[in-house]
Structure 1
Amino acid sequence: MKHIFKKPSFYLISSATDGDEKAIEKILAIYDPYISKCCLRSLYDEYGNVYIAVDMELKGRIREALIKMILDFDIPLETEEE
Structure 2
Amino acid sequence: MKKKYKHPSYYLISSAMDGDETAIEKLLAFYDPYISKCCLRPLYDEYGNVYIVVDMELKGRIREALIKMILDFEIDIEIEEE
| TM score, norm. by length of structure 1 | 0.89
Bigger drift between 71-80 and 9-18 goes to 71-80
Cα offset for 1:25? 0.5
Cα offset for 1:77? 2.9
Give the equivalent residue in structure 1 for 2:10.
10
| CA 1:78–1:39: 2 relative to 1, 3 Å | same
**Unaligned segments of structure 2, at least 5 residues:** none
Cα offset for 1:7? 0.8
Cα offset for 1:3? 6.5
Give the equivalent residue in structure 2 for 1:24.
24
| TM score, norm. by length of structure 2 | 0.89
Q: Secondary structure at the match of 2:42?
A: strand
Q: Which runs of 4+ in 1 moved over 4 A?
A: none
Cα offset for 1:5? 3.7
Give the equivalent residue in structure 2 for 1:33.
33
| CA 1:3–1:38: 2 relative to 1, 3 Å | farther
Question: What number of residue pairs does the alignment pair up?
Answer: 81
**Unaligned segments of structure 1, at least 5 residues:** none
CA distance in 1, matches of 2:40, 2:79: 44
CA distance in 2, matches of 1:12, 1:64: 18
Instruction: Answer yes or no: is the 8 Å Cα contact 1:18–1:71 preserved in 2.
Output: yes
